[in-house]
Amino acid sequence: MKKTREELDAQLSVLTTQLLESEKTTDEYRKQLALNKRQLEDVNKPELTEDQYSHLCDVINDALREFNFEDSGNYDIDFSLDYGNQIIADNITFNEMDELQMTIEQAIESVFNTAKSQHSGND
């Protein structure tokens, strides 16, 4: 049996409404899934008090300020000539990331004790 234009329009309207509701529900599920993933990632993170976090930020900031970023030996610089025959720094690479990391780690270790993990050692 052939449907009339009115019946097809009504069916199209119903299907469109159902699709929009389904998309809204899917979006809500996606948001909930993302939230649950973040919570799962956070569940095993060690917690810091606000004072500890503030102190840690200060220690890192101080370590960064003490590092000599102005030492040209810390960088590899590739030069080139531009169209106006001016020398330009084409690429600058920071080579002392390990040294910087060690400086920050030593600063943190100087003010915090490291607790042994419950899962370390032979179980």
Indicate whether 55 and 93 sit together in one domain: yes
- For the segment 23-36, the average pLDDT, to the nearest whole number, is 94
Residue 120: per-residue pLDDT: 53
What does the alpha-carbon distance between residue 112 and residue 53 come to, in Å, rounded to a whole number? 11
Structural domain boundaries enclosing 75: 47-113
Indicate whether 23 and 75 sit together in one domain: no
**Higher confidence at residue 114 or residue 26?**
26
Indicate whether 63 and 94 sit together in one domain: yes
Quote the number of domains for the chain.
2
49-86, pLDDT tens digit by residue?
A: 999 999 999 999 999 999 999 998 999 999 999 998 99
The answer, yes or no, to whether residue 123 has pLDDT greater than 70, is no
Residue 118: per-residue pLDDT: 67
Residue 9, number of CB atoms within 10 A of its CB: 11
Residue 63 domain flag:
yes
Residue 113's pLDDT band (boundaries 50, 70, 90)?
Answer: confident
Residue 48: per-residue pLDDT: 86
pTM confidence score: 0.55
Residue 35 domain flag:
yes
In this structure, are residues 68 and 74 in contact, taking their beta carbons and an 8 Å threshold? yes
